[in-house]
């Protein structure tokens, strides 16, 4: 049996996010759960969106970019969304490679400084 909907608490547990994070994602319109009284329920659409959001966050994609990308599916369909994803991924790959290069430079500089300091202790 598959679960059709998750409660707020189940959604937090499934995606390992805080309640504050989940409420924020709703506030900025990344998610739109069904409401019954004060309870929130997340159906397959919201679970899929949250999966994509979490994946995007893993790659360092900004929430606003993710929100706009998710809107493309709603307005233009999956082909347009996939094309937008390729463009977004290309830009993020450039940024990640730049950050990687900066980290390598920082590691080399720290290793040099550490070795110089260690040698001065001898």
Domains of the chain: 6-121 (1.10.1660.10)
Which tokens in the block code for residue 112? Answer: 């040099």
**H helix or E strand, kind and range, residue 59:** none
pLDDT tens figures, 67-80: 999 999 889 999 99
What residues pair up with 42 in beta bridges, in sequence order?
6
Assess contact for 96 and 60: CB atoms under 8 A. yes
Assess contact for 55 and 45: CB atoms under 8 A. no
pLDDT tens figures, 75-97: 999 999 999 999 999 999 999 99
What residues pair up with 36 in beta bridges, in sequence order?
39
Q: pTM of the predicted model, to two decimals?
A: 0.80
Is 41 in a helix, a strand, or coil?
A: strand
pLDDT tens figures, 25-52: 999 999 999 999 999 999 999 999 999 9
């Amino acid at each position: 049996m598959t679960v059709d909907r998750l409660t707020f608490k189940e959604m937090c547990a499934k995606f390992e996010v805080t309640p504050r994070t989940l409420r924020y994602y709703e506030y900025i319109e990344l998610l739109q759960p069904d409401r019954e009284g004060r309870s929130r329920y997340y159906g397959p659409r919201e679970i899929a969106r949250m999966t994509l959001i979490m994946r995007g966050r893993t790659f360092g994609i900004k929430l606003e970019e993710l929100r706009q990308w998710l809107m493309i599916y709603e307005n233009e369909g999956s082909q347009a969304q996939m094309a937008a994803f390729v463009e977004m991924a290309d830009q993020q790959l450039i940024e990640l490679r730049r950050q990687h290069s900066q980290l390598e430079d920082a590691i080399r500089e720290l290793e040099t400084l550490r070795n110089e300091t260690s040698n001065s202790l001898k």
